[in-house]
Structure 1
Amino acid sequence: MYRTYPHFWLPEVSIKTEPTLASTPGVSASISEDDPFKKRTCFLPHRQRDVPGASQPDNDVLIVDWDGPDDPENPKKCAHLNLLFSWTMRRKWTTTALVSLFTFITPVASTIIAPASTQVAQEFGITSSVTTALITSIFVLGYAIGPLILGPFSEIYGRSHVLQLANLWYLAWNLGCSFAQTTPQLIAFRLLASLGGSAPLSIGGGVLGDMFAPEQRGQALAIYSLAPLLGPVLGPICGAWIAERTTWRWAFWSTSFVDGGIAVAGFFFLYESFPPVLLARKADRIRKAQMDSEKGETHYKHIHTPFQNADHTWKHILAKGLVRPFALFVREPILQLLGVYMAFSFGLLYIFLTTIPSIFEGVYGQDAGIAGLHYIALGLGIGGASQVNAHTMDRIYMYLKAKHGGAGRPEYRLPSMVPATIFLPVGLLIVGWTVEYRVFWIGPDIGIVLVGAASILITQSIQAYVIDAFTLHAASALAAVSTLRSFAGFGFPLFAPAMYAGLGWGRANTVLAGVAVLIGCPAPWLFWKYGQRMRAGSRRLGGGTQEAFDAAAPHSAFVAGLVLSKGNEQSGTRGQRGTQRLENI
């Protein structure tokens, strides 16, 4: 079977037990009987002399790929196998749980200090409300900066190593916060800690994309997306009781102890899942086996994976990787539009995280510990909506996929966003006007539940859409939208006190509800109707359907950025164009 491309013919060769491949036209390579890698499928290029006008190469090339659909090293394809080193569902869910725990503990640290901010202000002599709010919100600024570096690093060096090293960085500076003696020290240490703590937010979605097919991804995403929204809710509940019973420094000591336990578990049970890194390790084993071969019958001078370009140094790849999130965000209207809505909902969430003490301590006159319990309302909204969405997202996706002839599309993730566009403005209005007129405390809690539910539904839908649309570069795409979201989480709490002081609770939340309607209500309908057209015209995506983009994955970057496309001829053509553009980012 031959696949034709400009200047190359790529024969698809299935290597079984033949001692040589000399009989295969155009292939100059041999495999020893003792070669442990002979039972595999790979792609061997024709010599260029067989192509008119091509020059004679000096070396033979072996492209290392997965050993068919049941390769035990392939994270996405081997759930049904029960081998020691295969990616069983147990291993996938263990990895999902660990990534979610990493993603959970750092957002806890981001808000656990909020109820104790008054105690910190008294100890350090802080008189500005903006500076007091900055102690909490500065952590979210690191979430905006860190993913721009850590997301691309994970696509170059792998998910597992970057996650664990970044977590150790976070752990060190979070402990440093507990020993801070001045306001600048505390703010600086919080910012440095958040740079490492941002890694799970930008890398975790990519890990799930590595392991799960689109129709299986919803439940895993529901658990993963729950962590960064439930963590900031649990943090203030714990922080309120810490502030009431002991020093604020225990807020950092307690989170450091918990994170240390998660780090130990990750060291033993967090496996690498990124296909380019796994295939690179496989290629290294083949090189070593070839070097150690006594008979010397295997004579591949160049051994590559489909994702490696022999002409590029690691510095070139790293430079490209650092630029990719910026390039994706600047050039992709999809990321810009989704990022704005996700940022707005996240900013509102952080307004509530920082103003709940003001509502229930200032307006309702409750103690800090009791006021902190109202964060449970936010947790109920987030947790309840997440669990419902976990059971419906994949079902809706599979139903729509079957309804449209088995063709999957990222737009099938959008129905979960529809109720969120209603919950968000309604919740804002309920909170604003019940607080304005000092209605019984259950009134604001009902509105807070709706805001929490809207936040998680918006986050899960957008993350699932981005992962399905950008696949291989999902980590960089998520880093792009997460950056904008984190800037909103950093900035919104800083202007919220002045807004509520000037407009009052009712009118201020009415303004926010109007913006939520203006931005949110058209979003799912516009993407449902025009999303495929936007992706088809995208400079970075390979076509209008999910299959077309899957075909566009950079499957043979060593040959001038060409791909081994699949599917029908039209989808394959779009896929090649999309991948060539993607590789030029």
Structure 2
Amino acid sequence: MSSRSQSSEGRELPQNDSGTLAPEEQQSEKQEKRPDSDDHLVSLDPSEDPLRFSSLKKWLAVAVIAMGSFCVTCASSMASFTEAGMAAEFHVPHEPTILSISLFVLGLGCGPLITGPFSEVYGRAIIYRVSYILLVVLSFPVVFAPNLAVVLVFRFLLGAAGASFLSVAGGSIADMFSGPKVATPMACYTISPFLGPVFGPLIGGFINQHLNWRWTYRILIIWTFAEMVAIFLFVPESYAPVLLKRKAQKMRKGTGDQAYWAPLDRRDTTLTRSLLLSCYVPFKLLFFERMALLLDTWNALLLGILYLMFQAFPIIFEDVHHFNVQSTGASFLGIGVGMGIGLATQPFWNRLAAKAAAEHGGKAPPETLLIMGQVGGVLVPLSLYWFAFTTYPHVHWIVPILASVPFGCGVFFVFTATFTYLVTAYRPIAASAMAANSFLRSAFAAAFPLFAGAMYQKLGTVGATALLAGLTTLMAPLPFIFYRIGPRLRARSKFAV
């Protein structure tokens, strides 16, 4: 399936996920046949163009969106230290309480299949606002839950409500920044959903050391409410087709002339069809594209290991090194420091990308992006081997925490490289490529914590962690392989550029 089509004048037109011309371009073709209606096609003035927003306005929006993503993913792992309290109060074993994390993460994976299409019809800002309203409202049943079943049902719904920040936020940044300027704000956003799970146990450990487990969710309500207010105040609508549609409506109402129109007004694709495509195309990509499947599986394995750590760290640092709850939560800081170091190297990667672009006539091949993934692919297994063989009781506790620093850095490199590569290589269906990645990642992240306790009990801290290191070692060659054969695979692909 070709990703481009030719108009009547010979210019190339982009296609959408279904392989047909994008609605805007279909309408453009129609307008070439009816030039008299071009006078009523609205356009954005420079002051209305999101790309021309002031730097303060754009970066304030990026900061609020990143904090919103951080809050949502932090909520996923804050529950890790509420498990003992829930088990005692509801008189259930510890294992079912782990589902409070797994179901939340599963909701994060399913939500993007819905929120993506809605954002293309109603805009980005309304999706964020509705998401955070739901996050506030749906948190109350968890706080006042009479039994574990209520907690689990609403934790899944909370995950689905917060998923918009994993599917829509990248589009908001691309709306406001273009060309080389998009790399830094995208990196700042990309790190937020991965720092969230790391800082969740730190915050949750402090709360549960001193207060009842329900206070974890009470504090989350306060936090999400503050984020909701910030979103209403500082995150403007940035999706140009929706801005054009609103402007056309305003002009029709103000002038009484019903001829004014925007591309979305004459959109041929219905919302129902868009929803069906958003659920169908990601799985079609996974089934027919081995490169996408392998890279998504690599990402899923790493996120699964990250969420497995929420069960493994208490075993290692509470049982072996006799940490209290608060100190165990602080032990995750090593991963956070590693991610921060990874973000600090972004200027180096920007210069590398600029150099590669200069060598290829102004546009570097997508495979250049995998160089960062190569570094991450080496760092992750090395750090896990280091971590595995320093979990003995006679080894000082700071050593395994130091071992987690390169793990955090490597995870950041892998995710940043893979996300950017998938979006670039599968640009005609970029949203579907990321939805497939998100779904598979969330499925692994939901499943891994469930068997962590049994695995560490059976294999011990050294054996279990070394097994994880071995799995990441098997996946480490992927960025090196696709760096070499990626162009050939993309040339044969029905989906890739």
| Fold match by TM threshold 0.5 | yes
Instruction: Find the counterpart in structure 2 of residue 95 from structure 1.
Output: 61
- Output the amino acid matched with 1:325: P
| Aligned counterpart in structure 2 of residue 373 of structure 1, from 330, 341, 353 | 330
1:441 Cα offset (Å) = 0.5
Match of 2:437 in 1: 481
Native 8 Å contact 1:431 1:448 kept in 2: yes
Which of 462, 465, 468 is 2:424 aligned to? 468
- Rounded Cα–Cα distance in structure 2 between residues aligned with 1:5 and 1:457: 38
Instruction: Kindly provide the amino acid, as one letter, of the partner of residue 94 in structure 1.
Output: L
* Number of the residue aligned with 2:296: 339
* Other-structure match for 1:404: 360
Aligned to 1:494: 450
Residues 10-36 of structure 1: CA deviation (Å, up to 9, x unaligned): 99xxxxxxxxxxxxxxxxxxxxxxxxx
Q: Deviations over 1:214-263 (max 9, x none)?
A: 42222112211221111112111121121121111110111111111111
| DSSP 3-state at the match of 1:279 | helix
Does 523-532 or 307-316 show the bigger shift? 307-316
Structure 2 partner of 1:532: 487
- Distance, in Å, in 2 between the alignment partners of 1:437 and 1:118 is 24
8 Å contact 1:363–1:438 — kept in the other structure?
A: no
Question: 2:166 and 2:108 mapped to 1: Cα distance?
Answer: 8
Tell me the CA shift for residue 370 of structure 1: 2.0
> C-alpha displacement at 1:122, in angstroms?
1.1
What's the C-alpha RMSD, in Å, of the aligned pairs?
2.7
Q: Which amino acid aligns with 1:395?
A: R
Paired residues, what number? 477
Deviations 1:473-511 (A, max 9, x none): 544332221111111111111112111111122222222
Q: Aligned partner of 2:214: which letter?
A: R
Q: CA deviation at 1:327?
A: 3.8
Partner of 2:398: 442
CA distance in 2, matches of 1:480, 1:409: 23
TM-score (norm 1): 0.75
Shift of 1:471: 4.8
Residue 258 of structure 1: which of 223, 226, 231 is its match? 223
> 1-side partners of 2:388 and 2:438: how far apart?
28
Matches within 5 A, 1:511-522: 511-520=467-476, 522=477
The Cα offsets for residues 456-475 of structure 1, whole Å up to 9 and x where unpaired, read as: 11111122223334457544
Partner of residue 276, structure 1: 241
After TM superposition, the structure 1 stretch with the greater mean CA deviation from structure 2, 496-505 or 531-540, is 531-540
**Match for residue 426 of structure 1?**
382
Helix, strand or coil for the counterpart of 2:395?
A: coil
Deviation at 1:209, TM superposition (A): 2.3
CA distance in structure 2 between the aligned counterparts of 1:314 and 1:272, rounded to whole angstroms: 20
Distance in structure 2 (CA, Å) of the matches to 1:246 and 1:206? 39
Alignment of 1:158 with 2:145, yes or no, is: no
Greater RCO (CA < 8 Å, at least 6 residues apart): 2
Answer yes or no: is 1:109 the counterpart of 2:52. no
Q: Deviations over 1:174-198 (max 9, x none)?
A: 2321111211111111111111111
Structure 2 counterpart of 1:578: none
- Aligned CA distance change for structure 1 residues 446 and 151 (closer, same or farther; 3 Å): same
Give the aligned partner of residue 505 of structure 1.
Answer: 461
Worse-matched range after superposition: 321-330 or 212-221: 321-330
Does 2:291 correspond to 1:325?
A: no
Shift of 1:46: 4.7
Shift of 1:328: 4.0
1:459 maps to amino acid = F
State the secondary structure of the residue aligned to 2:293: helix
Q: Distance in 1 between matches of 2:487 and 2:50?
A: 28
Q: Counterpart of 1:201 in structure 2: which amino acid?
A: L
Alpha-carbon contact 1:304-1:310 (below 8 Å) kept: no
Letter in 2 for 1:119: G
Change in CA separation of 1:469 and 1:285 when aligned onto 2, cut-off 3 Å: farther
User: Do the aligned residues in 2 keep the contact of 1:221 with 1:460 (CA within 8 Å)?
Assistant: no
- Give the direction of change, closer, same or farther, for the CA distance of 1:261–1:376 in structure 2 (3 Å limit): same
Question: The residue matched to 1:112 in structure 2 has which SS?
Answer: helix
Compute the displacement of 1:360 (Å): 0.8
Unaligned runs of 5+ in 2: 12-27
Structure 1: unaligned runs, 5 residues or longer: 12-41, 49-56, 79-86, 294-298, 544-585
Matched position secondary structure for 2:228: helix
CA distance in 1 between partners of 2:271 and 2:38 (Å): 20
Letter in 2 for 1:536: A
Q: 1:455 to 1:303 in 2, by over 3 A?
A: same
Instruction: Indicate the residue corresponding to 1:240 in structure 2.
Output: 205
Larger Rg: 1
Closer/same/farther in 2, CA of residues 304 and 44 from structure 1, 3 Å limit: same
Identity of aligned residues (%): 31
Change over 3 Å in CA distance of 1:387–1:472 after alignment to 2: farther
Q: Residue in 1 aligned with 2:155?
A: 190
Q: Distance in 2 between matches of 1:353 and 1:62?
A: 59
The code of the aligned residue for 1:121 comes to: A
For 1:125 and 1:169, the matched residues in 2 are separated by: 29
Alpha-carbon distance change, 245 to 400 in structure 1, aligned in 2, over 3 angstroms: same
What's 1:118 paired with? 84
Relative to structure 2, which stretch is displaced further, 273-282 or 458-467? Answer: 273-282
Partner of 2:20: none
SS of the residue corresponding to residue 220 of structure 1 reads helix
Q: 1:442 and 1:155, CA in 2 relative to 1: closer, same or farther beyond 3 A?
A: same
Residue of structure 2 equivalent to 1:16: none
> Is the partner of 1:435 in helix, strand or coil?
coil
Residue number among 145, 154, 165 corresponding to 1:180 in the alignment: 145
Cα distance in 2 between the residues matched to 1:90 and 1:184: 45
SS at match of 2:310: helix
Classify 1:274/1:46 alpha carbon distance in 2 versus 1 (closer, same or farther; 3 Å). closer
Match of 2:256 in 1: 292
User: 1:355 corresponds to which residue?
Assistant: 312
